[in-house]
Amino acid sequence: MIEALDIFPTTIMQLSIDPQACINLLEEIKSKKDMMRIVSSATQEQKTENYITDYVSPVKLEWFEKIWDQGVTKEFRENGKEISLDTYWSAIYSADGIHRKHTHSVGYLDPSANYSGILYLSNFGHTSFFSPNHTALVTQYDHASIFSKMIFFPSTLLHEVKARAQDGNQRYVVSFNAVVV
């Protein structure tokens, strides 16, 4: 009998965020969408009808910072870990919006950022993750966007977002880099 030993598994952590706080954050993002569109149109190749992001110059989100300070850091401390936020940015995808395969292996502001993450603010689409081990039995994992779920993953983990042509809704996320110790 063959016995599988998972020696180097990749851990993706998930945290549930208060849905009302996420609604407040979503309203804040929508109120700042025009600022984000200006940043995106000056820094991104995709048309802003398909994809908007303020990655290069993030717009301050008071509700995201509240969620982080009051929920995320508390949860990590309760589990014996410390987490500090490096940077965050928003992204809004139409059905045709994509984000090609990429990693966050070098933190935007702090090169020691070892984890990245996504707070999903809609139920549309998914994030595809790819195994760094070409001999792994599972080489791709699709994580569904679920409103008010936050995921954390190693910043070196390759991932992408594909278009969802059959879906006419917008997909809202806040992505981030962090240091976990």
Q: What does the mean pLDDT of the chain come to?
A: 92
Please state, as a whole number, how many other Cβ atoms lie within 10 Å of the Cβ of residue 29: 23
Q: Domains in the chain, start-ordered, CATH in brackets?
A: 13-180 (2.60.120.620)
**pLDDT tens digits, 143-161:** 999 999 999 999 999 999 9
Quote the pLDDT of residue 4.
78
Is the per-residue pLDDT at 106 higher than 60? yes
1: confidence class by pLDDT, cuts 50, 70, 90: confident
The helix/strand/coil state of 62 is helix
Is the per-residue pLDDT at 164 higher than 90? no
Q: Are 32 and 174 in contact (CB under 8 A)?
A: no
Facing residues of 180 across strands? 83
- The stretch 112-134 carries a mean pLDDT of 93
